[in-house]
Structure 1
Amino acid sequence: MERLIASMEQTIIGQPMNVRLLITALLAGGHVLLEGAPGLGKTKLVRTLAENIEGEFKRIQFTPDMMPSDISGNVVWNARTSEFDTVRGPVFAHLVLADEINRAGPKTQAALLEAMEERQVTIHGHTYPLPDPFLVVATQNPVEYEGTYPLPEAQIDRFMFKLTLDYPSEEAETAILRGHVPLSVQSPNKPVPVSTIEEIRSKRAEAAGVIAEEAVLGYIARIVRRTRELSSVRLGASPRAGIAVLSASKAWAVLEGRTYVTPDDVKLVAVPALRHRLILSPQAELEGMSGDEAVREALASVPVPR
């Protein structure tokens, strides 16, 4: 894990926390909603992870005219064999980048629901398992909503994390410019992976076995329940959100080299795991409050177990 993080940070400059949280979601078996302005490296972040774990990477550019079969796949008539052949869609990969997911219609967005939740795809009545591990990273542009279809709450809740990419610092941006190599002169050889799919599966099994004591479980439950009691929140986090916080905390503990979860792990992953699951009250929205602030308010009001 240390080699994987170090290798990614050589390419993805100025985003150390997002790099770690993306790897955390991979180990926890979750999916990620990635939000940021154009040009901040959202695609590069996911592609770099795929290259470093020797995983298959597919990028789907969502558009208003896209159909569900463009994601999951279809059957085509084979004149030579006089049979229908199944053509698997781009969702059959270890890492799938759903670029600008909110530009496709609800019917197409829903094609990802079965894949994200059940890790399988049904094509003309036949069910096919997806690769293991399987990670969907969907991107959204936070400043341009014209001609888009907002994701329904049921689909937003399928994402373990919502990560935001901000503009880099001056030092990081200078480092990006210093290391830039034009595409025309880049080496055609792929970078050497620092990890394998088998190692990722092993780490995922290790994360599942991380110990979370009763005090930590109660801490997570109180945080989730507290989000439902805030006056600024109209709809709080669900039990699925609590499971996401627990799974992410265990995976983060693995990155830290521990076999147990601490309250600090919970506090660290709570904001990216809950910020997109809360629906704020109209008054809170008028006052400019964000989901991050609501989660931090819940965290501040729940005593930390000792």
Structure 2
Amino acid sequence: MNNYDCIVVGGGPAGLSAALVLARARREVLVVDGNRPRNRATYMSHGFITRDGTPPMTLRELGREDLATYPNVHFQWGEVQRITGVDGAFTASIKGVRGGPSGEVQARKVLLATGVLETLPQVPDLISYYGSTIFSCVHCDGWERREQSLVVIGENPELVNTAKRASQWADHEVVLTNGSGIIEAHQAEVLGRQGIEVDDTPIAALHGDGSRLESVELADGRVLPATGGFVQPEWSLPQVVADLVPTAGDLGGVKTDEYGRSGVDGVYAAGDVRGITPSQLIIAAGEGARAGIGLNNDLIFATFDAPGR
């Protein structure tokens, strides 16, 4: 059974950045990634300095190329299904994907960079427009939607804040609760004072060419013109994370200190898995670097605390 200083679960910006720090610290690192990132539907990623407009899968590929120059970093396509053990002796069970091997590996430390799972509202054809003209992150994709007629769709309380943020870019904005009635009357009044309409009518259909939105049809037959918009998904943590870290919560993410240490000794977390807001690639990469430093420091200091040292 292979034994590593650290297994990094997730090969996005957070995981790859952490792995780079650990690689340069002369650690034996295994990065495991299932190749199903949350932003895979998006054509371009934004807000990452020197890489603005780069497709997200290309950004990940460039990160793997950086790591490939370090012989002490190993990459494996796979899904980590279970992690057991304690600090210094963790065992990860991996199911291979894309031809990657299945099996178990051991590691002294675990760094969780899985991101979160995403559930979109039940709106017909929403998935067809998600990532092309409807997005979840206003700071990531608002610029391309500037001065347009936008819809903001959602069924949970965070919809109000998403609507407020989207107003920075929208020329005209309608908030659609899809019949959920999640926005209270006083909240609708606040939005209305800024010219933002709130409509509780269920959504019957989205119309366009299959990728570029043109209008939204409501259940009462009205058709609202819209060239794009934003959606407020529901987020949850992967089961492997929730099973390992008892401080994990579906909404709040994994609680950590400033260096990514979770409430479980030897387990660290970085990126969206720590909490979805704000959710940007460059922030995830920074968190990954910080967690990698914290993890490496802990390994270094442990050698001075060992008996007989």
Query: TM-score of the superposition, structure 1-length normalised?
Result: 0.23
Determine which structure has the larger strand proportion and give its number.
2
Q: Which structure has the larger Rg?
A: 2
